[in-house]
Amino acid sequence: MPSADLVIARPEGLYCPPGDFYIDPWRPVDRAVITHAHSDHARVGHGHYLAHVHSAGTLRARLGDITLQTLPYGEAIVHRGVRLSLHPAGHVLGSAQVRLEHEGRVWVASGDYKTEPDGTCTPFEPVPCDTFITESTFGLPIYRWPAQATLFAEIDAWWRANAAQGRASVLLCYAFGKAQRILHGVDAGIGPIVVHGAIAPLNAVYRAAGVALPPTLRVADPGVDAALLRRALVLAPPSAAGTPWMRRFGQYSDAFASGWMQLRGTRRRRGVDRGFVMSDHADWPGLQQAIAATGAERVFVTHGSVAVMVRWLSESGLEARAFQTEYGDEDMEGEGSARSPDPGLPAEDEGEISGGGATAVP
């Protein structure tokens, strides 16, 4: 059996030598396989993109006129002798794990993933493999997410209490993935829901894919007045905090939805009234369960708490190593360049972005 690794780290990103392509490269390359459309994994400048069909709308909206080939989950193609297929990652709409098979070896690159189903994307499926490449964004034992029902009961109670007191409930959340999970999970009967302009076009992509989301309004829509806003749930990206756009809501209560809200210090630094522990990444038990379910004997760990995860895996009897990558974390959107608002869109109230997609010839 060949001894060379099926995926190696290069300055451009994670590279498959026999297939001559990269997975989520952070520098321009000829051929890129994209696990999902968050901006640290899907970057501009590649010659050819391959992604799941449900990523097409967001990829084209963010990257423009790209050469894009799409695949449904489970359908395999063969490129330069490498059999490649995409499998559900449960992270956001269209997120995928990349399965590579070549000369008897099977590797899976997970991208970002979440193990608990949330109703807005195809749930995570473990893919048996010899070698598994895993994220470790929340790879510490402290990170354990509340059940979906518990989380949304807390958000609904906060919104209902604010509405009863006549003040808007402004919930800061990442525009792609997190906002749609909130929309799908809250009780829309409590009151109207208003979304920032950065979120509205992404909602359209989800609705086009068949994800059920309640009706939403924009602050400039007819009939949106002060009385309505005092009962509203307002979803906005973190970058909207402190902008003139926020002044429209008068006396409001604000909150932040992020896995980092598990840490009280993060909430204090954010300066919000409330923090909701909510992430589109696997928590510590989820990471453990996902890795074990693959049956992999070797695991490469990427961004996050890499050293802790490598040590835990090694102590569990697995061969574990680290891959150095340039991936970020969308839970901290607005904190760094990889998570800044999309270029070309006004900061206060981003305009509509059209979706769409196409399949290129392999």
Same domain flag for 222 and 305: no
Domain count, the chain: 2
User: Looking at the structure, do residues 86 and 43 belong to the same domain, yes or no?
Assistant: yes
Q: Which domain holds residue 163?
A: 148-277
Question: Is 205 contained in some domain?
Answer: yes
Whether 48 maps to a domain, the answer reads: yes
Residue 3 lies in a domain: no
By three-state DSSP, how is residue 271 classified? coil
Whether residue 88 sits in one domain with residue 14: yes
Does residue 65 lie within any of the structural domains?
A: yes
DSSP reduced 3-state for 168: coil
Residues 39 and 58 reside in one and the same domain = yes
Tell me the backbone φ, ψ of residue 50, rounded to 5 degrees.
-125, 130
- Residue 343 within a domain: no
177 and 264 co-located in one domain: yes
Residue 362 lies in a domain: no
User: Do 252 and 154 sit in the same domain of this protein?
Assistant: yes
pLDDT at 330: 57
Residues 6 or more apart whose CB falls under 8 angstroms from that of 217 comprise 192, 193, 194, 195, 224, 228, 232
CATH number at residue 254: 3.40.50.10890
From residue 24, alpha-carbon distances to 42, 95, 179, 339 in Å are: 6, 12, 23, 16
**Confidence at residue 359, expressed as pLDDT on a 0 to 100 scale:** 25
pTM comes to 0.89
Whether 19 and 124 share a structural domain: yes
pLDDT (tens digit per residue) in 115-164: 999 999 999 999 999 999 999 999 999 999 999 999 999 999 999 999 99
Q: Return the pLDDT at 343.
A: 27
Q: Is 336 domain-assigned?
A: no
Residues 25 and 128 in one domain: yes
pLDDT tens series, the chain, 362 aa: 445 899 999 999 999 999 999 999 999 999 999 999 999 999 999 999 999 999 999 999 899 999 999 999 999 999 999 999 999 999 999 999 999 999 999 999 999 999 999 999 999 999 999 999 999 999 999 999 999 999 999 999 999 999 999 999 999 999 999 999 999 999 999 999 999 999 999 999 999 999 999 999 999 999 999 999 999 999 999 999 999 999 999 999 999 999 999 987 776 777 899 999 999 999 999 999 999 999 999 999 999 999 999 999 999 999 999 998 888 765 554 333 333 323 222 222 322 222 222 222 22
185 and 134 in a common domain: no
Whether 352 maps to a domain, the answer reads no
Whether residues 88 and 50 fall in one domain:
yes
Task: Give dist(CA 252, CA 6) in Å, integer.
Answer: 53
**Which CATH number fits the domain that encloses residue 99?**
3.60.15.10
Predicted pLDDT of residue 329: 62
The reply to whether 292 and 269 lie within a common domain is no
Whether residues 12 and 137 share a domain: the answer is: yes
